[in-house]
Every structure is written in C-alpha cells, then in structure tokens.
C-alpha cells in the first residue's frame, strides 16, 4: 500500500520540462512506494517537448506515445503547469522552498557549432532551428530559410540529418497528411531545391543512421536517392569493422549499396562520405576530403589536401544539441550537460533526459534514464530535508493546465489533415478564452 512516509505527508517534487524525460520521471515518481505529488513545469503552452517539436511530422506513429502521457496526466498527484519559465516566471530558489526535490528534464535548447569561418552567414543554419521551424515551435515559426536555391547541403550522418533531408525531398502530397504547419508546407511546396547533399566526415560503415530511417530515403515519390559507387570503397579497417559489426551496421551498408547508382532526372538526394566543412563561403561551402586512419573501431578522420568548393544556398548542420546552463547548478560545458552522478546533481536536485546524458538514444531510452534518476532520489529520502513551504508557489501569470492543453489538442485535431498546430501562446489563449 502506498503511504505518506515523507515526514507524514506526500513527497513533493517539481519536474522541469515536459518532454519524454519529464513524463517518464513523473511516472516513476508516482509509482514509488510512498505517495508523491508531482508538478510538471513547462516553458511553452504545449507539453511533449521532443515528441511534438523534434519528431518529424511524417512520423506520426512515433507520436502515439503521447497517449501514454495523457493517461499519466489523469492520475492523482500529477499536475501540469504550462507557460511557466523557471528562472523568469519563478526563481529556482523559490522552487526549492516549495518542493522537497527538483528533477531537471529540460532537454537541449541549442545546436552544436561547427566552429568554422563563415558559420554565421545568412544561409548557414543548425538543424535545431530547421527542425523546430518545420514542427511549428513557437520560438522558431518566424525563421526563414533559403528554399529558392538549387542546392542544399546537410552536414551530419545521423538520423536528424536524414529527417532534414527527407522533409526537403518530399512532395506536397507526401507531407499533406501530417501535422506539419500549413505555412511551412506552402513554403516547402514552393521550394526550388533540386539537389540535396548529405555529407559525413567518416565513411559508410561509421554512419550512425538507423536502417528504418535510411530505408525511407529509397521510398521518396519524387526524389532519387543515390551514392556514387566509389563512395562505398572501404579501407581494410572499415572492412574489419563491417565484418565484426552488428546486424544494424550490415543492414545500413546493404542499403547504401542499393543506392549506388546514377542520379535521376528530377530532384536528387546524394549521400557523400569522408568530407568535412572547413568554411561557409558567400556562395556555398568548402569541404575537405578526409582519409580514415587508425585501427578498426578507433578510426579517425584526418583531412587531406583535397578541397572542393560547392555552391549551395542552404547549409544545415546536424552535429548535436546542447542543453542550456542553469544558474547555480554545475555544468559540463564541453558535453553540454548537467554534472551528475546517476541523476543526482546535488542533494535535492536531480536530472534526467538529454540534459543529464547528452542528445542520444530514442524516445524510449528516456524511461530507463528517468528510472535511474528516481531510484537515486528514492535512496536519499532519509537524508533529504523537507521543504519549508509544502504548498504550491504563487505564479503571477496565466498558466496552462492539462485540461487547457486538451482543449487546444482537440482544436488541432478538429482541423483535419494537415493538422493545424496552435503555433503561438496568443493563439492558444484566444482559443481558451472563447
């Protein structure tokens, strides 16, 4: 039987960030052997974080995980508090007065830098901006990207790079039955991009795509995906890595071999390896060709003297995400994460998700990550001091409850396909005030 075992009352926990890590953390807390009250704080008016604003709009099945979060939101002890930014609308120190423990699950809020000259040019962007834009994130809906150019270059060999390439490559018809905002769809439909290049610094064996994502590139209706056969030539160390690799690696290389052909007559998506950008130029990007050096499993890309200039009006780098520092909490600036030990930052402060471990893994990985952090919290209950004010803090602004969100969600769903996302707080409040 669940009991009030924390100083004769329920354990009070504030979770900051309502993405997958936040919801899984809340779920783990509500499954403890003592009663817990969990307040889930969110800076935006809508929950779900990465699921809503990071998962590509044409991957609707992935977003069905929100049904699990909806069930959790109906449980006793859970409260969603949207439109509240910690550090702006309420101080972190105030939270500590009103909660016995705080779990930071705020994820990542910026993209990693290439660190090369010209990176701040107008046609150079990070995937963080582009992905949030095509997903209707309130902070990024007004971004503009040069879609009237012939060539787009995407830097990176991970699934984010594939998502970006696929959205640029798909036709209006392929995107119509998704939740992509109508304004974004109209801009993508008017795009003049005919060539999309995805470049990676190492070789095909070292690419970190997943087979499922990569396979979709071969199923595009109006775009040919191709690789020049010489791109798939492997050195001895890469051959050894392939032979000793797992099924996923062999499956990826098999897919690459299926793409080894000539370009089509229409729009083309080209995969290239052994290249790194060294400068964003006025007309495009300079790429240096790399050679892999070292033993199998530990190869590094070393620049050669071979450099190529590529004309491109749109450059998007997909090289990782970074969390935002939180004043007063220890931060690893190199990795872009909170310093922590199995989720513990300091007594009473814990973390989970990408701000804990870095931008890695799938949505489901956050469940295991959250479970570890809550387990760490549970072992410290005997030494955890109770908060001096065990009642909810006052917030002097319009907040969004989960019931409010469900009204907004119903409004979006009623729009049909493409689903019309609520894109701004002003629009959300207008709907709620009707």
Compute the Cα dihedral for 29, 30, 35, 39 and give only its sign: positive
Q: Hey, is 44 helix, strand or coil?
A: coil
3.40.50.720, 3.30.428.10, 1.10.10.10, 3.30.2320.30: which CATH number matches 11-109+323-432?
3.40.50.720
Measuring CA to CA, how many Å separate 433 from each of 79, 115, 396? 21, 46, 18
420 forms beta bridges with none
Q: Residue 263's pLDDT is what?
A: 84
Q: Residue 253's pLDDT is what?
A: 94
DSSP track, 50-62: HHHHTS-TT-GGG
Does the model's pTM come out above 0.85? yes
- For tokens 């602004």, name the residue: 397
Helix spans in 135-181 (H): 159-169, 172-176
**Residue 15, H or E segment:** strand 11-16
* Residue 277, Cβ density class (10 Å: 0-12 exposed, 13-18 middle, ≥19 buried): buried
Q: Residue 264's pLDDT is what?
A: 81
Q: Residue 132's pLDDT is what?
A: 95
Nearest to 249 by CA among 197, 195, 203: 203
Q: Residue 3's pLDDT is what?
A: 65
Rounded to an integer, what distance in angstroms lies between the CA atom of residue 102 and that of residue 267? 50
Please give the average pLDDT of every successive group of 10 residues along the chain, which has 434 residues. Answer: 78 97 97 96 96 93 93 96 96 95 89 89 95 95 95 96 97 92 94 97 94 94 95 96 89 93 88 97 97 95 96 94 84 89 96 91 91 97 93 94 96 74 92 92
Q: Residue 417's pLDDT is what?
A: 60
| Token representation of residue 360 | 């890695």
Is-cis flag, bond preceding 418, omega within 30?
A: yes
What is the domain partition of the chain in residue ranges? 11-109+323-432, 112-317
| Token representation of residue 401 | 């409850």
CB 203 within 8 A of CB 253: no
| Token representation of residue 260 | 């080894």
| Token representation of residue 163 | 């998502």
Nearest to 47 by CA among 324, 352, 401, 350: 401
- The verdict on domain 112-317 having CATH code 3.50.50.60 is yes
Q: Residue 418's pLDDT is what?
A: 58
């Amino acid at each position: 039987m669940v009991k009030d075992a924390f100083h004769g009352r329920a354990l009070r926990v504030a979770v900051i960030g309502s993405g997958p890590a936040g919801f899984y953390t809340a779920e783990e807390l509500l499954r403890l052997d003592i009663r817990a009250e969990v307040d889930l704080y969110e800076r935006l008016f809508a929950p779900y974080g990465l699921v809503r604003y990071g998962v590509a709009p044409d991957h609707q099945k992935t977003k069905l995980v929100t049904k699990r979060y909806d069930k959790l939101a109906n449980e006793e002890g859970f409260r969603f508090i949207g439109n509240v930014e910690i550090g702006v609308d309420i101080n972190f120190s105030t939270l500590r007065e009103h909660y016995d423990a705080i779990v930071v699950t705020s994820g990542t809020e910026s993209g990693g830098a290439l660190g090369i000259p010209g990176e701040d040019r107008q046609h150079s962007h990070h995937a963080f901006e582009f992905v949030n834009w095509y997903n209707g994130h309130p902070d990024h809906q007004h971004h503009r990207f040069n879609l009237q150019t012939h060539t787009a270059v995407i830097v990176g060999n991970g699934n984010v790079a594939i998502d970006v390439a696929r959205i640029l490559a798909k036709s209006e018809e392929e995107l119509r039955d998704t939740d992509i905002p109508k304004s974004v769809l109209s801009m993508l439909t008017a795009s003049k991009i005919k060539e999309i290049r995805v470049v990676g610094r190492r070789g095909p064996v070292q690419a970190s795509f997943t087979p499922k994502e990569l396979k979709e590139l071969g199923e595009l209706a109006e775009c040919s995906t191709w690789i020049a056969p010489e791109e798939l030539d492997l050195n001895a160390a890469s051959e050894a890595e392939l032979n000793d690799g797992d099924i996923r690696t062999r499956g990826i290389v098999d897919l690459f071999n299926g793409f080894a052909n000539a370009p089509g007559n229409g729009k083309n998506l080209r995969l290239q390896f052994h290249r790194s950008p060294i400068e964003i130029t006025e007309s495009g990007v300079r790429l240096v060709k790399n050679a892999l050096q070292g033993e199998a499993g530990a190869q590094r890309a070393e620049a050669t003297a071979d450099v190529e200039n590529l004309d491109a009006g749109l450059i998007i780098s997909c090289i990782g995400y970074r969390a935002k520092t939180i004043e007063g909490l220890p931060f690893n600036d190199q990795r872009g994460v909170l310093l922590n030990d199995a989720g513990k930052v300091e007594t009473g402060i814990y973390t989970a998700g990408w701000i804990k471990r870095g931008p890695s893994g799938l949505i489901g990985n956050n469940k295991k990550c959250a479970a570890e952090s809550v387990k760490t919290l549970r072992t410290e209950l005997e030494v955890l001091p109770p908060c001096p004010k065990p009642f909810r803090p006052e917030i002097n602004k319009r907040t969004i409850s989960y019931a409010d969100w469900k009204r907004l969600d119903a409004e979006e769903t009623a729009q049909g396909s493409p689903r019309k996302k609520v894109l701004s707080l002003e629009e959300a409040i207008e709907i709620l005030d009707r």
